[in-house]
Chains A and B, each alone.
Chain A
């Protein structure tokens, strides 16, 4: 028996166009909590999928209890005692909680092969109770809140009696109290001899729980340290690759007159009573935990799902925004969070992507002006520095960062004055990141009003003139550049309603 329950050596995973993992090492001892850290797009998610058998690695070896293994499908990994809680909720909305928990390892009668519902419901109930939740296991999954679904996901991992549990950002959508609950459970599991891989953005999670930490960056293995033997700054350097300050360009923006003001904006069940204003040349950061209502707010401003109450003033005039066309007409551009699903048409050539929002203006009476389209595409693609040879290449041939640049270029085709960036650097490698920062800063300097949603605190702090922190659908605090610290943001983004949690 090896010292390590799980050991991965030289794992490389290539996707068409992307090397998602490049020679990554990892080891895990029984009864330890091992934090896996790295920025978005560092390869953590892919790494988990390799461990759980969803992807098979292009090269490299996996050892389980000292024996080399190969997983052809998730079932095999599950059978070997590996369970994962994924970052993106991967459940069955139409099925009951019990079924979601036991999917893939249902309890069946020995001879009858009949699903033992009674026992499954009871087991689900006790599992949920051990997580401090009194959810009825017969509830339909789709009717639960994200936080409740996350708890079910955890229960699901626990239910398989796994020896290795991987938690991918489990606390991201949890309130403070729930996080505490989770810490306790995680520790208890560890004490029971389960090995846990804990992935989180939150440093506090790591400090609170982990024994060791492995850092990935740009798909590569950076190192593995005992948590108490590495300083915070060293860790950040390991994750980001250089001192954060160098990442952010010098800002030369000058604030102009007010361009956008919202007053007590609200959307039923999503956010409430939001007021702020935005000046030309200003970068307003909006941050908070996932599920705090940031994206919903900005999507409402862009007319994707209209707000139910409140008023929007654009350049001093009261305006109603009901559809994205309204917003674009006014001069509001929106860069969605998920560029592949919401912004780009991957199989289309770059030029067509860039021109999509502005087709009306680059056409003559409804006929496409293809020459003009190509000129505009070239000009903008060069402006944001897309790394490509020709504007006729499909967007799918670009790397994540360059795709994001195309998405930004697309915004600039229309006559916008306010730009909303929703997680602009999500899943983008470090080089492209600073390029995107440069673009944002340049745009601000050019007089655009910019709203930037981000979960990454350094980014928010490094770029914003002001920072609005959201928590559970409300703005809890607006910080100036001068008093914006990680601690202040964190505090404002945590729920105050500890005893009035909606979960459970």
Chain B
């Protein structure tokens, strides 16, 4: 009985990821069938490169969601730090690109700390707090940019190279994403803080009894999210060689969608790094593949929405069935 039970649960959680993987493969086959240009080295490189920023943000968002929170301000944070980093490099072209990245991260961290403070200390619901900050940060971005864009020619090539250069034949963006992925994998699975994030989301009351400092965890989670948004902001601006006030407007929804597709529960406690990565890849495949097979751009949003809704319902129904089966198997 116990053995069976365990098998079942393990299978389910794997099943979700395999299901996702299966869906990606299926989608790939369909797209490939309709347009053979899909599975080419060049296109796959593009796909991975374009998914890099999304997956970086999705990993951060995963932690936020695990603590039963949400962060809608990341698009604005991304724009703000990208804008400030771009302004800095355009004023000081000799600045080392690493420093530019650091500036971006720093701005992001400050934004994250503000949100973390509002959520953990003041006790505002994350969705409200981040909505408010989203407005404020977006306004700030327009303000510091003075309505202007920072364009390619104003950026030193060292800065633009962050996104275009490669190391060992792999694009830097992808390398950064991989490093962050590996770090997160280690962080959430093998460090105490990482596990405490899950514990807090799984049962906030027990967490208190276990002596977990929930304020600290919220601060860490939102600060990390902010830092990652800041990093993503620099990468974004470097990649597109342009910083605008409305950069990544509404991007937070895509990020949250990637998490949800990846099986992160908004009720907290559940979410796997690999799942989130798959979720981001799925969206990447859709973004890359739909134009290739001539799907009207106006249908993309609807298709994306439908897929997300189906994924959410599918997760819930599977979970419900498993619970019922478990109960059925109990002998009275």
Contact = CB atoms under 8 A, between A and B. Distances in A.
Complex contact flag A–B (Cβ < 8 Å):
yes
B195 to A, nearest CB: 6
A277 interface: no
Contact of A103 (B6, B210, B332): B210
Given A94-B198, A143-B9, A474 B332 contact: yes
Contacts of B192: 106, 108, 113, 115
Contacts of B210: 74, 103-104
Contacts of A340: none
A504 B5 CA distance: 12
Contacts of B201: 94
Contact of B211 (A74, A268, A270): A74
B165 interface: no
A134 B206 CA distance: 25
Nearest to A266: B332
Interface string B70-103: 0000000000000000000000000000000000
Contacts of A103: 195, 199, 210
B5 A269 contact: no
The listed residue with most A CB atoms (<10 A of its CB), out of B6, B9, B327, is: B6
A93 interface: yes
B35 interface: no
A53 B209 CA distance: 9
Nearest to A74: B211
A139 B326 CA distance: 14
Interface string B1-18: 111011001100000000
A27 interface: no
Contacts of B189: 115, 117
B198 A140 contact: no
Range for the number of chain A residues in contact with chain B? 35 or more
A94 B202 contact: yes
B190 A502 contact: no
B196 to A, nearest CB: 8
Given A94-B269, A143-B9, A502-B331, A78 B202 contact: no
Nearest to A78: B211
Contact of A93 (B1, B203, B329): B203
Contacts of A477: none
B84 to A, nearest CB: 33
Contact of A271 (B3, B202, B211, B332): B332
Interface string A448-481: 0000000000000000000000001110000000
Nearest to B332: A473
A92 B9 contact: no
B203 A73 contact: no
B205 interface: yes
Interface string B96-134: 000000000000000000000000000000000000000
A94 B195 CA distance: 11
Contacts of A270: 327, 332
A107 to B, nearest CB: 10
Contacts of A113: 191-192
Interface in B242-294: 268-270
A140 B9 contact: yes
Interface residues of B, number: 37
A317 interface: no
Contact of B330 (A76, A94, A117, A269): A269
B330 A143 contact: no
Contacts of B301: none
A99 interface: yes
B189 to A, nearest CB: 7
A229 interface: no
A136 B2 contact: yes
A104 B211 contact: yes
A108 B196 CA distance: 14
A73 B328 contact: no
Contacts of A473: 332
A90 B2 contact: no
B211 A95 contact: no
A143 B5 contact: yes
A138 interface: yes
B320 interface: no
B206 A92 contact: yes
A269 B211 contact: no
Contact of A90 (B186, B198, B209): B209
A86 interface: yes
Interface in A24-74: 52-54, 73-74
Given A90-B203, A95-B199, A143-B9, A74 B209 contact: yes
Given A99-B195, A474-B332, A86 B209 contact: yes
Given A113-B191, A474-B332, A139 B202 contact: no
Nearest to A73: B211
A92 B332 contact: no
A14 B312 CA distance: 45
A74 B212 CA distance: 9
B59 to A, nearest CB: 18
Interface of B: 1-3, 5-6, 9-10, 186, 189-192, 195, 198-199, 201-203, 205-212, 268-270, 324, 326-332
Closest CB pairs A-B (n = 6): A75-B211, A269-B327, A94-B269, A473-B332, A92-B202, A74-B211
Given A74-B211, A99-B198, 11 more contacts: A90-B205, A90-B209, A95-B269, A103-B210, A108-B192, A136-B3, A138-B6, A269-B328, A270-B332, A502-B331, A504-B2
Interface of A: 52-54, 73-76, 78, 86, 90-95, 99, 103-104, 106, 108, 113-115, 117, 134-136, 138-140, 143, 145, 268-272, 293, 472-474, 502, 504
18 contacts: A53-B211, A73-B211, A74-B211, A78-B211, A91-B203, A92-B207, A93-B202, A94-B268, A95-B195, A104-B210, A104-B211, A115-B190, A117-B190, A134-B2, A138-B10, A271-B332, A502-B1, A502-B330
